[in-house]
């Protein structure tokens, strides 16, 4: 368990492009009455970043171009990976405390 913890701590180097948001893909109908989207073939995809601020408040950003979409995908995935690593560290610390072992290795 301690080896796993040491490995996770060693690997814990957050990339500078972390982004705590959701990447949304949307297909939309426009307002033109004779457009093909009225028959089911919607416009899109449009990609948005969305994040929650305070309760009931959302912030949304329309991404322009494939470069922005690719960067957003990578940044959101990096954030999720960081959270997973932190959850694993937290679980290991929980287990060490449950076993009444010190959280830090003794020299």
The number of residues making up the chain comes to: 107
Distance, CA of 85 to CA of 3 (rounded, Å): 14
User: What is the helix (H) or strand (E) element at residue 61, kind and residue range?
Assistant: strand 58-62
In the predicted model, what is the mean pLDDT of the chain?
89
Which one is predicted more confidently, 107 or 22? Answer: 22
Q: Which structure tokens are listed for 102?
A: 């010190």
Distance, CA of 1 to CA of 62 (rounded, Å): 43
Confidence band, pLDDT 50/70/90 cuts, at residue 5? confident
């Amino acid at each position: 368990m301690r080896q796993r913890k040491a490995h996770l701590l060693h690997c814990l180097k957050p990339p500078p492009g972390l982004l705590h948001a959701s990447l949304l893909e949307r297909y939309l109908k426009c307002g033109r009455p004779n457009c093909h989207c009225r028959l089911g073939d919607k416009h899109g995809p449009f990609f948005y970043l969305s994040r929650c601020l305070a309760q009931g408040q959302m912030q949304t950003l329309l991404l322009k171009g494939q470069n922005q979409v690719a960067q957003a995908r990578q940044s959101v995935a990096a954030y999720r990976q960081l959270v997973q690593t932190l959850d694993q560290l937290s679980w290991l610390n929980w287990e060490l405390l449950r076993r009444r072992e010190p959280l830090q290795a003794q020299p």
